[in-house]
Amino acid sequence: MLPVTRRLLAMLAATVLLGACASGPGAPGTLTVPRASEVAPGVYMLQGASGEVDVGNLGRIGNAGFVVGETGVVAIDTGTSHRHGMLLLAAIKAVTDKPVRLALVTHTRQEFLFGATAYREQGIEVATHRKTAGLMKARCETCLKRLTATLGAEEMRGSAVVVPDRLFDQGHTLHDIGRPLRVMYFGHSSGPGDIAVLDEQSGVLFAGGLLDERRIPDVQDAELRGWQQALVQLSELPLTAVVPGHGPLARPAVVGAVAAYLRQLESRLIELATAGAALSEVPDATVLPAFRSWDQYDSIHRRNASIVFVRVEREQMLKQQ
């Protein structure tokens, strides 16, 4: 077996060629089991497709993964639908016959959570942060209806908003599988209850909503200062690789890349708000050349600009009162 560092370098080099083929959704309606890629001994990633949710990718744009320990498996994120969750479980079964002890949902995005019904159907407990569960309860029924309208009733059959079996409020270490996994919570960051999961044995981080690789991060639920502080803490960890929420396996440098995007986004919008720009002008005026090649620059980035501009304007008004 190759040493961990060489294995990771090999995986990173092959991602561009193999990532989408290994675990992309394939043709609409496909039931092909995705192939899990081993990124370190006992640590696996299932890469989602690029782009936004549509019938072509079946909404399977979020990454998922799992860690195999001495006594079982912890699954990390559960997919877009019941059908997708079943396929992720089949991918785990293709690697190991050890039981899945727990499924962790890292954050409240549709491509990470509706597959939880498949895990629950197999008697597997679902766990998430209390604030993530609260956000799921508040809005995910509406989200599920929109997703069903987009992907079709057949593709979403059996999907539902699951009430988690385990709720937690703080970071902690899981000992469910004889291999310690550190569940990391930084407060409100990329979302109110967003978590990351660190396999301490390999140094691989499952970043959830905190990090995307060469994809514009979505600030809709974010608290930017809290997110930046969380990224500072992540940058201090001895990481060997990062499984991002979206995109291919990443080097630890992804932490700095996402932090740079958030800094430049906020800085530019402070400039525009101070200059008295109109909201209608903001998306076109918030040009960040360093990130133009990132996935969803023409959609999520423009939306981010409007969202952050409104927040910056509000802060400036409050300071003037």
Q: Of the candidates 293, 259, 288, 296, which has an alpha carbon nearest to the alpha carbon of residue 271?
A: 288
Tokens found for residue 215: 């994809």
Conformational region of residue 65, where left means phi above 0, alpha means psi within -120 to 50, and beta covers everything else:
beta
| All residues at 6 or more sequence positions from 164 whose CB lies less than 8 Å from its CB, including other chains | 105, 126, 127, 128, 133
Q: Which of 252, 276, 293 is the last residue of a domain?
A: 252
Query: Based on the domain organization, do 186 and 316 belong to the same domain?
Result: no
Q: In DSSP terms, which residues pair with 242 in a beta bridge?
A: 205, 250
Q: Are 61 and 247 in contact, with CB atoms under 8 Å apart?
A: no
Taking the chain (321 residues) in runs of 10, the rounded mean pLDDT of each run is: 40 35 42 92 97 95 98 98 97 98 97 97 98 96 96 96 97 96 98 98 98 97 98 98 98 98 98 96 97 97 98 90 75
Q: Can you give the residue range of the structural domain that contains 318?
A: 253-321
Query: Based on the domain organization, do 227 and 292 belong to the same domain?
Result: no
Q: What is the CATH number of the domain that holds 160?
A: 3.60.15.10
Number of domains in the chain: 2
Q: What are phi and psi of 41, to 5 degrees?
A: -55, 120
Query: Based on the domain organization, do 60 and 129 belong to the same domain?
Result: yes
Q: Which of 252, 277, 304 is the last residue of a domain?
A: 252
Query: Based on the domain organization, do 216 and 275 belong to the same domain?
Result: no
Query: Based on the domain organization, do 286 and 232 belong to the same domain?
Result: no
Query: Based on the domain organization, do 9 and 36 belong to the same domain?
Result: yes
A 10 A CB-CB count for 259 gives 18
Query: Based on the domain organization, do 119 and 141 belong to the same domain?
Result: yes
d(CA 20, CA 24): 5
Q: Are 39 and 27 in contact, with CB atoms under 8 Å apart?
A: no
pLDDT of residue 126: 98
Tokens found for residue 262: 């958030």
Query: Based on the domain organization, do 278 and 243 belong to the same domain?
Result: no
Beta strands 181-185 and 37-40, pairing class: unpaired
Query: Based on the domain organization, do 196 and 307 belong to the same domain?
Result: no
How far is C-alpha 103 from the chain's CA centre? Answer: 14
Four-residue CA torsion sign, 187, 193, 199, 205: negative
Q: Of the candidates 262, 311, 301, 222, which has an alpha carbon nearest to the alpha carbon of residue 52?
A: 301
Q: Which of 204, 219, 252 is the last residue of a domain?
A: 252
Query: Based on the domain organization, do 74 and 202 belong to the same domain?
Result: yes
Query: Based on the domain organization, do 194 and 260 belong to the same domain?
Result: no
pLDDT of residue 30: 53
Tokens found for residue 288: 């960040």
Query: Based on the domain organization, do 65 and 78 belong to the same domain?
Result: yes
